[in-house]
Structure 1
Amino acid sequence: MIMESQKGDLYEGESVDQLAKRMIEHLLKWGVTDAFNDKQIYTILEKAESTLNPLPAMLQVEHPITIVGDIHGQLDALIRYFDAVGYPPKVKFLFLGDYVDRGAKSFEVSLLLFCYKIRYPHSVHLLRGNHECMKMNRLYGFYEELARKRGGRMWRQYQNVFNELPLCARVGQRILCMHGGISQNCNSWESFKALKKPNTPLTCDEGLQVDLMWADPTQDKCNTFAMNKQRAISVVFGEKGLDVFLKKLGLSLIVRAHEVSQEGFNFLFNKKCVTVFSAPYYCGNDTNCGAIMHVSESYEISFTVLRPRMIATPENIEIVKLMENNYKGLRVASPDPNRGRHLQSADVPKPTAPSVQLVPPVTKPVEIKKQ
């Protein structure tokens, strides 16, 4: 219920948590922020910054948990995932970054996630992607979107929040998650314990942090690490480099985002690395699915796959046929019908995606104390 009298940036007697609750309800129902003034938005941004500030650059989170890859301003897709698997705090989520740019509702997506983080700090975990760096979201749409909807000054306040986002998260003892990939600059868990959150464009492009936000796997199985020529920043890593990294840290799986996948997820290197990409029909050009990944209490891995919504017309019928062909290979039975399913129209039988059980870690992992 909205109170009539207003004082400053909050309604009379309203807490920041209550403001966040109202914003969540409004965004989920209407998908816009027109009911809130700039002072109220700044209140949420400042609270999000202070909530994220004490967190270390590497989080320790426990499973079961649902992991979400790139969203890129696709509010409708994010809400469809919530509708399918549940909302915070009923379901615990780990987001791998790239909330903004490319899509039309980066402002609304990021604000919704910040409100959830404020209300449920132990159920919603947010990592930083490369598009949460100033040089990226200045060029790829977020700056223009905010300038149009609220003004350029708010964009700078957003950078303060982005600077406080952690860079990676260990799930239990066997899974390490980040937006980009692994790094040759990591020699032990001490490297992660010493890791600092970058707060300038320069420090975003240095050391371990740049690889966590930018690195990509390569299919060259003989490769360890090499320059990432396609992106002109960071590195690519091969199976040999990954094996050394996993053994050194006692891990079983790397979970990352950062790259479009036609199926929404893609396993590499004998299921030791998986890419999760959650933005279907990316940029309105790719005919890709989106997916989110579930990690059970016993480390069982499964996926919920979101099919892009496209109505067939004489102009796009060939694209629709291509999309349908892409889905055929995913129709594999899963032990749990409520997990790993595709979300699509009710008149089409629901296929399911495969479930994967992690192999034991190569060595016993080193315990990291929470900071």
Structure 2
Amino acid sequence: METRVLDGIINRLLEVRGKPGKQVQLSEPEIRQLCLVSKDIFLMQPIFLELEAPIKICGDIHGQYSDLLRLFENGGFPPRANYLFLGDYVDRGKQSLETICLLLAYKIKYPENFFLLRGNHECASVNRIYGFYDECKRRFNVRLWKAFTDCFNCLPVAALIEEKIFCMHGGLSPELRNLDQIRNLKRPTDVPESGLLCDLLWSDPSKDIQGWGPNDRGVSYIFGADRVLDCLKKLDLDLICRAHQPADKKPKFGFGTFTSTKSPTPPSRIKSFLGAMV
């Protein structure tokens, strides 16, 4: 993708800073190119990212484009800071297209400093229902939605920071025995209805159980603090960092509240982020 074209797209997407709700009308060929080029980058990089600090970790955006811009204003626009987003870029909010286009553009511009994980809403069967399909159809056409689907099917699904902080959108899986299982997942792929990939995008922690239990979402599992501690010990990790739930719903597991990923001995072993930045 020509630098001039990419920079023009980014500049237009940033022109609406301070104008909440104002749409940016990129052309269909421009958006298709963002999907195709970023897809190739995702496939060139591993499905399980291994990253270094410092890096800012961000939770669900869900089409809230003004919030995304405000997040960059607070944390620093790329490349001033390195970023890892934990998924759920589309659906629910009114500007999923602007949101995902800026994120893909930054991925293309700074492929070694800007990282995007897959969330459960980066899946055709989900975003067909919760708003992204309708936004693509209303503003462009269904073919463009399918181009995004092809791109989403190539996103990485988990990350490891400094070999100690395990990041994903959803949570743990009863099938997870070692990290090579994630490294060996194949792409492109849709999200299956069960199994390791499904759980990484869908499962939730719960303070009310030990072990594993059925998830009220109707997909995947909930897991207790004992499963978190077991996973950390088995995989020699310090922290699990995930999104997928509002902050007021995150279980604290009796360890207190984790406040800094830089702490050598974090008081909590699992942290949830939704529309937040660490």
The equivalent position to 2:140 in structure 1, one of 125, 134, 150, is: 150
Aligned twin of 1:272: 269
Query: How far 1:197 sits from its partner (Å)?
Result: 3.7
Identify if the C-alpha distance between structure 1 residues 269 and 97 changes in structure 2 by more than 3 Å, giving closer, same or farther: farther
Q: Quick one: distance in 1 between partners of 2:226 and 2:188?
A: 29
Aligned twin of 1:301: none
Query: How far 1:261 sits from its partner (Å)?
Result: 1.7
Is the 8 Å Cα contact of residues 121 and 127 (structure 2) preserved in structure 1?
Answer: yes
Identify if the C-alpha distance between structure 1 residues 141 and 196 changes in structure 2 by more than 3 Å, giving closer, same or farther: same
Is the 8 Å Cα contact of residues 207 and 252 (structure 2) preserved in structure 1?
Answer: no
| Bigger Rg, structure 1 or 2 | 1
The equivalent position to 1:137 in structure 2, one of 122, 127, 140, is: 127
Is the 8 Å Cα contact of residues 178 and 256 (structure 1) preserved in structure 2?
Answer: yes
Matches within 5 A, 1:218-237: 218-220=206-208, 223-228=210-215, 230-237=216-223
Q: Quick one: distance in 2 between partners of 1:234 and 1:113?
A: 28
Q: Deviations over 1:183-242 (max 9, x none)?
A: 110112232232234613xx5323110010000001125x111221x1001011101111
Structure 2 residue 213 is matched with structure 1 residue 213? no
Aligned twin of 1:44: 34
Letter in 1 for 2:14: L
The equivalent position to 1:175 in structure 2, one of 160, 165, 172, is: 165
Structure 2: tracts of 5 or more residues without a match: 17-21, 256-267
Is the 8 Å Cα contact of residues 167 and 197 (structure 1) preserved in structure 2?
Answer: no
Q: Deviations over 1:21-61 (max 9, x none)?
A: 11111111125332x32112211211111111122221001
Letter in 1 for 2:269: K
Q: Quick one: distance in 2 between partners of 1:168 and 1:155?
A: 24
The equivalent position to 2:59 in structure 1, one of 50, 69, 93, is: 69
Q: Quick one: distance in 2 between partners of 1:169 and 1:95?
A: 10
Letter in 2 for 1:207: G
Is the 8 Å Cα contact of residues 220 and 239 (structure 1) preserved in structure 2?
Answer: no
Is the 8 Å Cα contact of residues 179 and 213 (structure 1) preserved in structure 2?
Answer: yes
Q: Quick one: distance in 2 between partners of 1:119 and 1:247?
A: 37
Letter in 1 for 2:89: Y
Letter in 1 for 2:39: E
Q: Quick one: distance in 2 between partners of 1:269 and 1:210?
A: 27
Query: How far 1:266 sits from its partner (Å)?
Result: 6.6
Matches within 5 A, 1:25-36: 25-30=11-16, 32-34=23-25, 36=26
The normalised TM-score by structure 2 is 0.90
Q: Quick one: distance in 2 between partners of 1:51 and 1:163?
A: 13
Structure 2 residue 169 is matched with structure 1 residue 204? no
Aligned twin of 2:73: 83
Is the 8 Å Cα contact of residues 56 and 82 (structure 2) preserved in structure 1?
Answer: yes
Q: Deviations over 1:119-149 (max 9, x none)?
A: 0001110000000011000000000001111
Aligned twin of 1:239: 225
Letter in 2 for 1:61: L
Q: Quick one: distance in 2 between partners of 1:205 and 1:104?
A: 27
Matches within 5 A, 1:312-351: none
Q: Deviations over 1:298-341 (max 9, x none)?
A: xxxxxxxxxxxxxxxxxxxxxxxxxxxxxxxxxxxxxxxxxxxx
Aligned twin of 1:310: none
Is the 8 Å Cα contact of residues 23 and 33 (structure 1) preserved in structure 2?
Answer: no
Question: Relative contact order (alpha carbons < 8 A, sep ≥ 6): 1 or 2 greater?
Answer: 2
The normalised TM-score by structure 1 is 0.68
Structure 2 residue 270 is matched with structure 1 residue 292? no
Identify if the C-alpha distance between structure 1 residues 204 and 55 changes in structure 2 by more than 3 Å, giving closer, same or farther: farther
Q: Quick one: distance in 1 between partners of 2:180 and 2:9?
A: 39
